[in-house]
Structure 1
Amino acid sequence: MRNRQFYPAILVTSILFSLIGCASGPATLQQGPDAETTKDGLVKVDNSKLALSYARPNVNWQQYSKLYFKPTKVTNDHPDDYRAPKIDRQSDGLNATYDLPQASLDKMALQFSKTVADVFNSEQPFELVTQAGPNTLIIETAVTDIRLTAPIEKSRRSFNSSGKTYTQSSGSMVLLAVLKDAESGEVLAKAADRAMGFDQWRQNTQVFNWGDVKTVYRRWANDFKNALIEANAQTGN
C-alpha cells in the first residue's frame, strides 16, 4: 500500500538529500524564468535549513505567532520505486521483517509530538496551540519511507539465539511538512528531509535505534524552528 497524500511528485524528485549538513548563506526564493515552481505556485527555497523546501512568494510570515501541529502520521509506506531489502531466511530467520509494527509507529508519532513541545517551548517566539485560529500556521507532518539497515530486532534469528547484529547506521527516514494558513487553508510551504541515524558501526538494537529517532526528531524540529524564525525576520526587512 502506498500513501500518496504526503508524496507530491515535486518533493520526491530530490528526496535523497541528507539532513546532515548546513546551508550556506541566507535562505532565498529562486527568481526568474528558471525558478523551480510547483503546480500549486510554491517556489523552491535555496539555502534552506531543511533539505528540500518550497514556499509561496510574498507571504507575511510575521503575522503567524501561533503554531498548530496536527498529529503526525508515521507509516511503513515507501515511494513506488522502492525496493525492499532482500531477506536471507537462513541467516535472518523465517520471521525477519523490515516493517515496524503498529505499536512502534504509534510510539514514534507520540515521541514526535513530545519533541515538538520541547523544542517550541515558552522561550521561543511561537506559541503552540491545540486548535486552528487567527494568526496560526497549521503544520501537517509525516514520517515515512523508513529504511532500516537490519530487520527489526525481535524478528531476527540472532535475537532469539542471543547473537549480535552490527550495522554502520540504524537507518533513515523521510520527514515531510506542509504549512497552511489556518483561516484560508492555503498551502504556504512544503518541506522534506531524509534524516539519518549516527554514521558509526555499533550493535544494532532497539535501544540504540530509538535513541537515533529522538536525535533525528530534535535535529529536524530545531532546523524547522530556525527556518521559521529566519522567514519571520526576512519578512520584517
Structure 2
Amino acid sequence: MRKTYATSTSIAGLLLLTIVGCSSAPATLQQGPDAEITKDGLVKVDNSKLELSYVKPGVNWRQYTKLYFVPTKVTNDHPADYRAPRIDRQTDGAFATYDLPQESLDKMAVQFSKTVQDVFNSEQPFELVSSKGPNTLIVETAVSDIRLSAPVEKSRRSYNSMGTTYTQNSGSMVLLAVLKDGQTGDVLAKAADRAMGFDQWRQNTKVFNWGDVKTVYRRWVTDFKNALMTAAAEGTP
C-alpha cells in the first residue's frame, strides 16, 4: 500500500527489513511419528526464531570452530506462483519496475559479507576462513523473492517529477541458509525466513532504507552467531 505526492524529489529504496521471531519458547526438535523430516534427514525445529528451520539430530556443534561463508547470492528470483504487482502506467510511469537493478543486488550481497566480517570479529569464538576443511562449518546463504512496496527509484515517474512516495512498509525478501560439514559436505541444517518491512508510514527513500538493510543484516548475523554459541555450549541443538 502506498501513496505518491508531487511535492519534492523522491528516491525509492532498497528493502526495509526485519527478522521476525516466531516464539519466545525454547527451540526444540520435533519428535515422535509425526515429526517432519526432510529427505536428507533433517528434523523440523519448533519455536524457531526463523519461519522455517530444520536440523540434523545428534550433531556435535562443539567441533566447529571455523566458519566458511560462501559469498551470498542476491537475486530477483521468485517462486512459480508469484504474481508481480500491477504497474499503474499513469501514476508509476511507462518504465516502472519492481525488480532491483543488478548493481543494487550486488551491493546487498557485498554488504552481507561486510556484516559477517564485522559480527564475527577477533573477539568471537569462531574463526572466519576462506576455504573448506576440518572443524569448519560451511554457511551458504541466498536472498531472493524480493518484493518492493514501490517501484525502483529511477524507474518511477515521480523520480523525475519532483514527487515523493510514502509506503506503509518498504517490502520483504526471503533469506535462505544451509549449513554443511566442511569435510564431508553433509547438510547439517537449513533455514528460511521472510524479512518484512516495518509497519509504519514513512517516506520511501534509498538513504533510510539502506540503513535499515544494514541494521537487519546485523541482527540476523548476530542471532546466527548466538545460536551457534548456544548449540556449541550444549553440544547439540
Calculate the TM-score normalised by the size of structure 2.
Answer: 0.89
Aligned to 2:99: 99
8 Å CA contact 2:58–2:236 kept in 1: the answer is no
8 Å CA contact 1:50–1:223 kept in 2: the answer is no
Aligned to 1:235: 235
Other structure's SS at 1:79 match: coil
Aligned residues between the structures: 220
How far apart, in 2, do the equivalents of 1:58 and 1:236 lie?
A: 6
Query: Is 1:206 matched up with 2:206?
Result: yes
Q: Deviations over 1:136-179 (max 9, x none)?
A: 00011001000000001111100100100000111111111000
Q: What aligned pairs does 1:100-119 form with structure 2 within 5 A after superposition?
A: 100-119=100-119
Aligned to 1:51: 51
Q: Deviations over 1:27-52 (max 9, x none)?
A: 22111111111111100111223232
TM-fit CA distance, 1:120: 1.2
Aligned residue identity for 2:188: L
How far apart, in 2, do the equivalents of 1:48 and 1:127 lie?
A: 25
8 Å CA contact 1:25–1:47 kept in 2: the answer is yes
Aligned residue identity for 2:100: L
Q: Deviations over 1:119-139 (max 9, x none)?
A: 111222211111111100001
Aligned to 1:166: 166
Other structure's SS at 2:90 match: helix
Aligned residue identity for 1:148: L
Aligned residue identity for 1:81: D
8 Å CA contact 2:115–2:217 kept in 1: the answer is yes
How far apart, in 1, do the equivalents of 2:49 and 2:225 lie?
A: 10
Other structure's SS at 2:193 match: strand
Query: Is 1:154 matched up with 2:154?
Result: yes
Gaps of 5+ in 1: 1-17
Aligned to 1:80: 80
Gaps of 5+ in 2: 1-17
Aligned residue identity for 2:163: G
TM-fit CA distance, 1:198: 2.4
How far apart, in 2, do the equivalents of 1:230 and 1:104 lie?
A: 34
Aligned to 1:90: 90
Provide runs of 4+ in structure 1 moved above 4 Å.
Answer: none
How far apart, in 1, do the equivalents of 2:128 and 2:51 lie?
A: 24
Aligned residue identity for 1:214: K
Question: Which of the two has higher C-alpha Rg?
Answer: 2
TM-fit CA distance, 1:197: 2.6
Query: Is 1:127 matched up with 2:111?
Result: no
Aligned to 2:177: 177
TM-fit CA distance, 1:231: 1.5
Aligned residue identity for 2:77: D
Between 21-30 and 144-153, the greater mean CA deviation after superposition? 21-30
How far apart, in 2, do the equivalents of 1:50 and 1:21 lie?
A: 6
Aligned to 2:36: 36
Other structure's SS at 2:121 match: coil
Between 217-226 and 34-43, the greater mean CA deviation after superposition? 217-226
Other structure's SS at 2:164 match: coil
Aligned to 2:218: 218
Query: Is 1:196 matched up with 2:159?
Result: no
How far apart, in 1, do the equivalents of 2:115 and 2:136 lie?
A: 20
Aligned to 1:62: 62
8 Å CA contact 2:149–2:167 kept in 1: the answer is yes
